[in-house]
Structure 1
Amino acid sequence: MRQKRVTLEEIAQAAGVSRATVSLVVRKSPLVADHTRERVERIMAEMDYVRDIGAARLRNNSSRTVGVIVPNLVNSFFTEFLSGVEDVMAQDDRVVLLANSRDDPWRQDAILQRFRGHGVDGVILCPAVGTEPQLPARIAGWGMPLVQALREVGPPLDFAGADYVAAVGLAVRHLVAQGCSRLAFLSVTARTSAREERLSGFARALAETGITNAGVVEADLTWEGAAQSAAQVLALGTRPDAVLCFNDVLAAGLMAGLRRAGCEPGRDIAVVGLDDLPLAELTHPALTSVAMDAPRIGRNAAGLLARRLADPAAVPQRDIVAPRLVVRDSSFQKV
C-alpha cells in the first residue's frame, strides 16, 4: 500500500510555524531565521518529508532537472566534473541526469531526444567525436538552454573548460628544466577541439623552447591501448627522453607498457600527464601531471547554465580554468 505523502501543512503544524515559512525553508530562501530553519528541517527529517517535484513542475513550468552528456566514463575526470555540476545544481534544487554518449554522435542525439521528452530545463554537453557544428543551433531551436564543456563545436557559445595550450606549455617547460631534449606526445585518436588545443600547445611550446619533436603517437582511450602504445613510442625514429600524454589515463597505461618493455618511467624516460586525477598519486612512479580542476570546471558549467536559465538573452560567456603543474616522481631530474 502506497504511503501518504507528508504535506507542508502537517510540517507547519508540527513545527509551530506557517505553511509559507515551511515553503520558504523547502526552497532554501535566505528570508528564514537560522533557528527557525533548523527546527523546520529537523521536523521534516523526523516526518520523512519529501518535496513533490511534480507539483512544483506544474506550478513553475520547470522540471527542476538538467541533463549532462559526457563522452565516456573510463576517464574519472568526468565523474569529478559531474560532482562540480551537482554541487551548483543542488543549491538551485535541481536534479542532474547523467548520460554517456560513448563518443557516438548518433547515441548522443538519441539522448538529447530523451532529455527533450523528459522536459529537462537545460543541457551541459561535452560533444561526441563527429558532432555536427550545427547541433548547438538545433538545440537552440528546441528552446533548450545549452552549455558546452571541455569540448566545443559550432560558433562561440556558453563554454566551460581549461586552458589546454597553457597546460601543455607548463609541462614542456618543466621537462626542459629537467634536462629533457627529445619530447614525444601521446594523444587519443579522437579528433576533438580538446585534442587540437593540446597539439597546438605542443607545437607552440616546442617552438618556444627549441627542443626536438620526437613525434606524435596515438592510442585508444583504454588502459591496454595506452600500454600497447609504449612499443610505438620506443620505436620512434628519434627516441624520446620524455613523453607528454593527453591525459592521466594514457599516462598511467603508458607507464605500465614501458615497464613491460624493460624501460623504467621516471628513470629511463620521463612521463607527464594532464588532468591530475587522484590516480596520479597511485601510479608507479607517482605521476607528474598538470591539474585542470575537474570539479571547478563542472561548477563553472553549471553556473553558466543557471545564468542562461535565469536570462535566456544573456551574452555568451566562457569560463576557462588556469592549469597548475604538480610535480611527482615520473618526471626525473637529469641536470
Structure 2
Amino acid sequence: MPKKITLQEVARVAGVSRATVSLVVRKSPLVAAHTREKVEQVMADLDYVHDIGAARLRNNSSRTVGLIVPNLVNSFFTEFLSGVDRVMEQDDRVVLLANSHDDPARQDAILQRFRGHGVDGVILCAAEGTDPELLHKLQRWNLPIVQSLREIGKGQTDYAGADYIEGVGLAVRHLVDLGHHRIAFLSVTALTSAREERLVGFAKALKQTGAEDAGIVEAPLTWEGAAQSAARILALDSRPTAVVCFNDVLAAGLMLGLRQAGCEPGRDIDVVGLDDLPLAQLTYPPLTSVAMTPDRIGVAAAQLLSRRLNAEGAAIERAIIKPQLVLRESSGRKLG
C-alpha cells in the first residue's frame, strides 16, 4: 500500500507550518495568495488527498449535504445543482443528489438514507403531496433543512426560489403589449406551491391588464404530454391567440404539437415559456421565455444552508430571485 501523505509532510516540503496547510485545505481566506499557490502546488506534486473521514471524526461533520429534486426530465434541476455545488465546494462539502420522482414515499426513503450517511443538512425540493409534518420530523432528527423551488409549511424553514408570480406577470404583460387579449395557460398536473404561485400570477396579470383568461390546460411533464396538449388548446372555445407555459419543457413540447397540427408558433399563435433554459434557444422557433436563473437559486439555497449549519439558531430567511423576460421568435409579432 502506498504511503499516505500527511499535512505535516506537505508543510515540510512547502516550508510552512502545518496550521497554514490546514488553512489552505479548508480554503480559509486568511492565507496569502502566493502562499496558497505554493502549498497547493506541493499538494499536487505529492498527490495529497484530504482525509475527510478523519476530519469528520474531529469535527463531528460528514462534510456532505443532501439535495432532493422531484425529477431530472427538466434540465432546470441540473443547473440548480450546479449552483448548489459551487457554494458547497467552497465549503469543502460534497453534494449527494437524489431524485424523488415526485413520490413522497421515495422521498422519505431518501431522507432516511441521507440520515444514515450522516449528512450535515438537506436542500429539499418537495415531492408533490408531501405532508408538512415532514418538517417536524426533520426537526426531531436535528437535521437542518432549506426548502427550494417548492415549499410546504410556508415560513417554517429557510427558503430559496424564484418570483413565479412576477415571472408569469412579465409573460402576460409582454403578450398584452403585442395586442393579445385571449391568453391561455399550459400547466403541469402536479399540485405544488410552484404551480399555485404561477396560477396566482396568471390571474393577477389578467386582472391588471384586462386580458381574457382563454383557459387553463394541464399536461404531464413529458414531451409527449406537452405535444398532445396542443390539440386541447386549439379546441378551446375562446380561441386563444397566445399561451403562457409553466416551463420551457412544456413550451417546447407544445410548439411541436402546434406544428404537427398545422399551426405555426410565433405566427399563428404566440408561445412564452418560463425558466429560459438552453433548450429555449434550440426550439423552432426559438422560445421567448422568462429567465428564472436556476443556478442563482441553487447558490442562494446553498448559502442559506451553509449559514444554517454555522448558526443553527439563526432567524429564518427567504431568498427570492427576480425574473427577467428574454425575447425570441416564438412571440413578438404585433397584432393588427
Partner amino acid, structure 1, of 2:58 = R
**Do the aligned partners of 1:227 and 1:258 also contact (CA within 8 Å) in 2?**
yes
The TM-score, its normalising length taken from structure 1, stands at 0.98
Partner amino acid, structure 2, of 1:162 = A
**CA offsets 1:204-258 (integer angstroms, 9 cap, x no match):** 1111111111100011101111011111111111111000000000000000010
SS of residue in 2 equivalent to 1:225: helix
Match runs of 1:287-302 below 5 Å = 287-302=287-302
Indicate the residue corresponding to 1:307 in structure 2.
307
Partner amino acid, structure 1, of 2:162 = A
Whole-Å separation in 2 of the counterparts to 1:4 and 1:73: 41
Runs of 4+ in 1 over 6 A off after TM superposition: none
The TM-score, its normalising length taken from structure 2, stands at 0.98
| 1:184 equivalenced with 2:181 (yes/no) | no
Indicate the residue corresponding to 2:134 in structure 1.
135
Whole-Å separation in 1 of the counterparts to 2:169 and 2:20: 54
| 1:61 equivalenced with 2:60 (yes/no) | yes
* Unaligned ranges ≥5, structure 2: none
Whole-Å separation in 1 of the counterparts to 2:133 and 2:56: 30
Q: CA deviation at 1:334?
A: 2.2
**Do the aligned partners of 1:267 and 1:332 also contact (CA within 8 Å) in 2?**
no
Q: CA deviation at 1:152?
A: 0.5
Whole-Å separation in 2 of the counterparts to 1:226 and 1:30: 49
Whole-Å separation in 2 of the counterparts to 1:277 and 1:193: 21
Aligned length: 334
Whole-Å separation in 2 of the counterparts to 1:279 and 1:223: 13
| Bigger Cα displacement from structure 2, 248-257 vs 21-30 | 21-30
Indicate the residue corresponding to 2:27 in structure 1.
28
**CA offsets 1:4-32 (integer angstroms, 9 cap, x no match):** 32111221122122222211111112222
Q: CA deviation at 1:155?
A: 3.9
Q: CA deviation at 1:332?
A: 3.1
Whole-Å separation in 1 of the counterparts to 2:107 and 2:3: 39
Indicate the residue corresponding to 1:169 in structure 2.
169
Whole-Å separation in 2 of the counterparts to 1:32 and 1:241: 60
| 1:202 equivalenced with 2:202 (yes/no) | yes
Q: CA deviation at 1:33?
A: 1.9
Indicate the residue corresponding to 1:246 in structure 2.
246
SS of residue in 1 equivalent to 2:62: coil
* Unaligned ranges ≥5, structure 1: none
Indicate the residue corresponding to 1:317 in structure 2.
317
Q: Percent identity?
A: 72
Partner amino acid, structure 2, of 1:294 = P
Whole-Å separation in 2 of the counterparts to 1:188 and 1:315: 33
